[in-house]
Amino acid sequence: MHQSAGSASRQQYTLLMVSIALAMFMTSLDGTIVNIALPTISTIFDLPSTTVSWVATAYLLVLTGSILVFGKVADRIGFKTVFLAGFGVFTAGSFFCGFIPEAFDSFGMLIASRVLQAIGGAMIAAIAPALVAAFLPMKMKGKAMGVVTTFAAFGTAAGPILGGILTQYLSWNWIFYINIPVGAVAILLGSYAIPAGVTASGTPSPFDRLGAVLIFAGLGSLIYAVSQGSALGWTDPTILAALAAAGVALGYLVLHERRTADPLLDFRLFNNRNFLYVNLMLALAYFLMGGVNYLLPFFLELVKGFDPSTSGLVLTALSFAMMASGFLSGMLINRVGNRRLCIAGALVISAGYLMFRFFSAESTIYYIAGALAAVGFGLGLMLSPGTNMVMNMAPRDRQGMVSSLISVERTGPITLGISFISMIFVQAMLTVASHRHVTMSSPAEIRIDVLAAGFDLVFVAVFAVSLAVVALAFLSRDEVHADNREEETFEVAAAGA
Q: Which residues contact 303 (CB under 8 A, 6 or more apart)?
A: 359, 360, 361, 448, 451, 452, 455
Q: How far apart are CA 111 and CA 103, in angstroms?
A: 14
Q: Which residues of 409-428 are buried (b: 16+ CB within 10 A; e: fewer)?
A: bbbbbbbbbbbbbbbbbeeb
Q: Taking the CA atoms of the chain, what radius of gyration do you get in angstroms?
A: 22
Residue 395: helix, strand or coil by DSSP?
A: coil
Rounded to two decimals, the pTM is: 0.79
Please check whether residue 497 is in contact with residue 81, taking contact to mean a CB–CB distance below 8 angstroms: no
Residue type, 336: V
Please check whether residue 422 is in contact with residue 294, taking contact to mean a CB–CB distance below 8 angstroms: yes
* Residue closest to 476 by CA, chosen among 269, 334, 275: 275
Q: What is the pLDDT along the chain (497 residues), one digit of tens a residue?
A: 333 344 446 777 788 888 888 888 887 787 777 877 777 888 888 887 667 778 877 888 888 888 888 888 887 788 888 889 999 999 999 999 988 887 777 888 999 999 999 999 888 888 777 787 777 776 777 677 777 777 777 777 677 778 878 887 888 889 899 889 988 888 888 888 887 765 544 455 677 788 888 888 888 888 888 877 777 777 889 989 999 999 999 999 888 888 887 787 888 888 889 999 999 999 999 889 888 877 887 788 778 887 766 777 888 888 888 888 888 887 888 788 889 999 999 999 999 999 998 988 888 999 999 999 999 999 989 988 898 888 888 887 777 778 778 878 887 787 788 778 877 877 777 776 665 554 444 444 546 667 777 788 889 999 999 999 999 999 999 887 766 665 444 444 444 43
CB half-sphere exposure, 60, CA atoms < 13 A: 24
Residue type, 33: I
Residue 27: how many CB atoms within 10 A of its CB?
25
Angle (nearest 5°) at CA 192 between 187 and 196 = 100
**Confidence (pLDDT) at 49:** 67
* Residue closest to 173 by CA, chosen among 62, 48, 40: 40
The two most distant CA atoms of the chain are separated, in Å, by 83
Q: How far apart are CA 27 and CA 410, in angstroms?
A: 12
**Confidence (pLDDT) at 486:** 53
Please check whether residue 403 is in contact with residue 124, taking contact to mean a CB–CB distance below 8 angstroms: no
Residue type, 275: F
**Confidence (pLDDT) at 346:** 96
Q: CA torsion sign, 438 to 441 to 446 to 448?
A: negative
Q: Which residues contact 464 (CB under 8 A, 6 or more apart)?
A: none
Please check whether residue 297 is in contact with residue 311, taking contact to mean a CB–CB distance below 8 angstroms: yes
Q: What is the 3-state secondary structure (H, E, C) of 446-458?
A: HHHHHHHHHHHHH
**Confidence (pLDDT) at 50:** 67
**Confidence (pLDDT) at 335:** 85
Residue 382: helix, strand or coil by DSSP?
A: helix
**Confidence (pLDDT) at 93:** 93
